[in-house]
Amino acid sequence: MLEPTLHFHPKSALFHIGLEGGEPKRQRLTLTVELAGSHECELMTVSRRSLRSANWAIMLLDEDHYSEQAKADKSLGLLSHVPENEYWPESCCIEVAVDSPTFQKVYEVLREGKLPSVISVSSRGLEYGPGSDGRTKVWNIDADSNLDVAKVSVTIPLVADSEPSVEEFEAPAHLATSADANAIRQEVTGAIVQMQNKVIAQTRWLIGIGVGILILLATHFK
């Protein structure tokens, strides 16, 4: 029987690199993910509680093997469950070791601003739930909160989505250049100068009227 498989949709990604003695030691790609739609995949505990709302993350390690024990067990890594506590919400983490060429391929795609469309993870510790379609999987987290990962596959889209995003609709048709900035600055400066000249002219006019009134008053009271 095939190992039960979970499907995830990535939401974001981070690149981590460790240093030891000034030299790169361990590289890791961390992707925050969510379980695929319930019509594709569902994961429940023995008590029928869904683990969909848990914080999920997948870590790809640039390593030949996850550990010596994992190598002996022919495991790529671990699927781990951390219960909710006073410091952290319920979380599930998948750590797997991938060979350097595969790691670099995923890394380069992420650097281009693309996320994998689907990451699938198979584990020998999961069981199939009710239903003949195999969509629902069951994890007995009380009996074993760390399961071996048997297989991982990453699906990366090669063609950009043809549907324009909201950001694309809202993006300005023209991006300002330094020449545009200079032109705007000149227009603003000109407007300020015109305003200053107008204020000076009005001030002189008021002064002239005031002087005239004073002369008339002086003449009247002689």
One domain for residues 60 and 148:
yes
Does the pLDDT value for residue 187 go beyond 70?
A: no
| Helix (H) / strand (E) containing 170 | helix 166-170
Please tell me the predicted confidence (pLDDT) of residue 39: 75
One domain for residues 123 and 204:
no
Write out the residue range of the structural domain in which residue 200 sits: 184-222
CA separation (Å) from 17 to 21, 22, 61, 126?
13, 12, 10, 31
Q: What is the pLDDT of residues 52-90, one digit of tens each?
A: 999 999 999 998 888 888 888 889 999 999 999 988 899
One domain for residues 153 and 74:
yes
Q: Is residue 62 part of a domain?
A: yes
One domain for residues 143 and 204:
no
CA gap 12, 218 in Å, rounded:
84
Please tell me the predicted confidence (pLDDT) of residue 173: 39
Split into its structural domains, the chain has a count of 2
Q: Is residue 205 part of a domain?
A: yes
pTM above 0.75, yes or no: no
| Helix (H) / strand (E) containing 188 | helix 178-220
Band (pLDDT 50/70/90 cuts) for residue 218 is: low
Please tell me the predicted confidence (pLDDT) of residue 171: 36
Question: What is the 8-class DSSP label of residue 130?
Answer: S
Out of 31-40, 72-81, 205-214, least confident range: 205-214
Please tell me the predicted confidence (pLDDT) of residue 162: 47
Q: Is residue 50 part of a domain?
A: yes
One domain for residues 59 and 109:
yes
One domain for residues 10 and 112:
yes
Q: Is residue 170 part of a domain?
A: no
Please tell me the predicted confidence (pLDDT) of residue 83: 94
Q: Are β-strands 42-45 and 23-35 bridged in parallel, bridged antiparallel, or unpaired? A: unpaired
Strand partners, 146: 80
Distance from the Cα of residue 7 to its chain's centroid:
19
As a dihedral over the C-alpha atoms of residue 30, residue 32, residue 34, residue 35, rounded to 10 degrees, the angle is 10
Share of the chain above pLDDT 70, in %: 68
CA gap 63, 208 in Å, rounded:
88
Out of 105-109, 114-118, 149-153, 190-194, least confident range: 190-194
Q: In 3D, which of 51, 73, 81 has the Cα closest to residue 150?
A: 73
One domain for residues 111 and 49:
yes
Does the pLDDT value for residue 116 go beyond 90?
A: yes
One domain for residues 101 and 19:
yes
One domain for residues 111 and 32:
yes
Does the pLDDT value for residue 175 go beyond 90?
A: no
One domain for residues 45 and 131:
yes
Q: In 3D, which of 101, 105, 83 has the Cα closest to residue 92?
A: 83
One domain for residues 130 and 209:
no
